[in-house]
Structure 1
């Protein structure tokens, strides 16, 4: 029904997570009918980002600089290194306001069935960084999924003889949460990791 170029635009928008055929169609039609300047800007910025944004040489987050702003910030605590799965996780931890150390972004989690092993996650680079002796505490902040737990376990085992303090972020009942709304696995974990007050 649509022209070949419009169909191609719709199909291209479907590469985004959560965008199905109807959403992609609505986006394409909106840009063409109501916001061509916005569409042109989106295209320009998207092209620039795809060619100019790479990975920080220190932490592997996304940046157009060789070293990202967090790693270049001399006010950060270089003795703490927080390992996360994605750049979005860096943003989440930063927004909490409770952490002033540095990061290492894995860009995923161990998944042997998908061909994602330690090398694909940069774990050898992480071990090299830890070997420099600057980091004293390694904080494992991978997701509370089976894969995230397996990844944290692998890293913890890799650091066993390093003399580093290795910690895992707590998981449990969220602030403001009602106990009857929390799943049994999360509640069991929160109980097993309770702290004396």
Structure 2
């Protein structure tokens, strides 16, 4: 432990990042303070602006600074095909790796009864409203290949069936327990293009 409270606070703040332990946080803090003060100030400003201005799209729930994100407002996208993902990071991964031109719906999690996460915590009523109100032809189930992701996909497929909407599941190739935002572009592109009926 250091005797400098400001340094300790910076190290503790960096530890909130996923995968960052005490040693990594200390290394980052020391790097910023010893070698990149301009980078530290830029990081500070960017975090403050993002924390104050970025929220969730009122339609698809991805991250945006506007009420409705640019993807939802893009008239060249096909509103009849909705790709359901767990996180905004999954949207970015699919956009970077594929030529998908439909729209998205972000669950901000996955069904996990043991953790107290049910349909209402995922805002599935909003997705069901979209299926009811919009001319949706296909619901692509792009949840992760974990037990909870599969349970969520099954629940969504039943929801789609109630509305007469075709439900497809992204193809395997996504490893069991894999997170979409960490897959290489080729695997993700193959999985999306090879989706199947669910």
Instruction: Report the TM range for the smaller structure's normalisation.
Output: 0.7 to 0.9
**What are the superposed Cα offsets for residues 52-76 of structure 1, whole Å, 9 maximum, x if unpaired?**
1000111100000111111110000
1:114 matches 2:109: no
Superposition pairs of residues 86-105 of structure 1, within 5 angstroms? 86-105=87-106
**What are the superposed Cα offsets for residues 15-57 of structure 1, whole Å, 9 maximum, x if unpaired?**
0011111110011111111111111111111011111100011
> Structure 1 residues 173, 117: CA separation in 2 closer, same or farther (over 3 Å shift)?
closer
Look up the SS of the partner of 1:78 in the other structure.
strand
Look up the SS of the partner of 1:159 in the other structure.
helix
Report what 1:182 is aligned to: none
TM-score by length of 2: 0.84
Look up the SS of the partner of 2:167 in the other structure.
strand
Aligned partners of 2:99, 2:170: CA distance in 1, in Å? 12
**What are the superposed Cα offsets for residues 102-137 of structure 1, whole Å, 9 maximum, x if unpaired?**
000001101112221111111110000111132111
Aligned partners of 2:25, 2:132: CA distance in 1, in Å? 47
Report what 1:171 is aligned to: 172
Kept after mapping to 1: 8 A contact 2:81/2:103: yes
Look up the SS of the partner of 2:61 in the other structure.
coil
Q: Find the structure with the greater CA-based Rg.
A: 1
Report what 1:180 is aligned to: none
Look up the SS of the partner of 1:160 in the other structure.
helix
Report what 1:17 is aligned to: 18
Q: Which runs of 5+ in 2 are unaligned?
A: 176-190
Aligned partners of 1:106, 1:69: CA distance in 2, in Å? 18
Aligned partners of 1:151, 1:23: CA distance in 2, in Å? 34
Aligned partners of 1:173, 1:18: CA distance in 2, in Å? 21
Q: Which runs of 5+ in 1 are unaligned?
A: 175-189
RMSD, aligned CA: 1.9
Higher relative contact order (CA 8 A, sep 6+): 2
**What are the superposed Cα offsets for residues 117-174 of structure 1, whole Å, 9 maximum, x if unpaired?**
1111111100001111321111111011100000001111122221111111111389
Aligned partners of 2:159, 2:32: CA distance in 1, in Å? 50
Which aligned runs of 4 or more in structure 1 are off by greater than 6 angstroms? none
What number of residue pairs does the alignment pair up?
A: 177
